[in-house]
Amino acid sequence: MRSRDLPGVLITGLVLLAFAGCESAPSNAPPVTAALIRTGTRENADARMLSRGRSLLLHRCIQCHAPPDAAKLSPERLRNVLATMASRAHLSPEEHEAVLKYLLAVRSL
């Protein structure tokens, strides 16, 4: 590598890091792993529904605030809050259910 390429390499690295950071930053929105799918099963949610819920959370809910820490909310509280938030995020009933089940699964990870 020639030394005058260094700034370009550094910038590329920083840009990649920024994107990687973006993807991993919301620690309250863990990826859909085998462990999450197991807890999701208890909520009658399959991998597809959990992925949909996570994606909606990361695209629609964060228009107003960071993803909530599901572990801090009781299932009842989550259900009640989601009833309000789903309409704020203009979710369809199916989307509402997917986000709720994803958060319930995360909660019991």
Binding site for ligand HEC (CB under 6 A): 57, 60-61, 63-65, 68, 73, 81-82, 85-86, 88-89, 91, 99
Instruction: For the CB of residue 6, give the shortest distance to ligand HEC in the complex, in Å.
Output: 43
- What is the torsional sign of CA 68, 73, 76, 80? negative
Q: Which two tokens stand for residue 85?
A: 């938030």
Burial of 75 per CB tally in 10 Å (0-12, 13-18, 19+): middle
Instruction: For the CB of residue 70, give the shortest distance to ligand HEC in the complex, in Å.
Output: 8
42/79 with CB nearer ligand HEC: 79
Closest CA to 70 of 60, 81, 86: 81
Instruction: For the CB of residue 38, give the shortest distance to ligand HEC in the complex, in Å.
Output: 22
Instruction: For the CB of residue 14, give the shortest distance to ligand HEC in the complex, in Å.
Output: 31
15/81 with CB nearer ligand HEC: 81
Residue 73 DSSP label: S
Task: Tell me the C-alpha distance between 24 and 31, whole Å.
Answer: 9
1/64 with CB nearer ligand HEC: 64
Task: Tell me the C-alpha distance between 53 and 44, whole Å.
Answer: 13
3/74 with CB nearer ligand HEC: 74
